[in-house]
Amino acid sequence: MSRPVTTVGVIYLLHFERPYRHARHYTGWAADLDHRLAEHAAGQGARLLAVVKAAGIAWTLARTWTGTRADERALKRQGGASRRCPTCGVTPLPARRATGPGRRSAR
């Protein structure tokens, strides 16, 4: 049995200038970040970004990580995007050996 192909791309965190209902952030994944951000700016792609645009709420790219869609899903499952957002006052730790989000390094 072969393993599924895991494409490495960019996981990104968008910070909203003000909350939209309960949402203050959006976490996504893209193979081409510039193209994906242009889609979001146009109100296309993710539904949340479309309604944020329609509500006149601006957003900024707050943080990026290298990773797969599975890594993005793991970050979303963990919740607490504001704990990872530098705009909200969080200072990211210096880069360490890559083990992926939510994974422990081999000891």
Q: Return the domain boundaries, the chain.
A: 9-84
In the predicted model, is pLDDT for residue 55 greater than 70? Answer: yes
* pTM for the predicted model, two decimal places: 0.78
Count of Cβ atoms closer than 10 Å to residue 102 Cβ: 12
DSSP 45: S
- Checking if the pLDDT of 95 tops 80, the result is no
60-80 pLDDT, tens digit per residue, is 999 999 999 999 999 999 988
The residue behind tokens 């880069």 is 95
Classify each residue of 39-62 as buried b or exposed e, where b means 16 or more C-beta atoms within 10 Å of its C-beta.
Answer: bbeeeebeebbeebbeeebebeeb
- The C-alpha torsion from 15 through 41 and 30 to 49, rounded to 10°, is 60
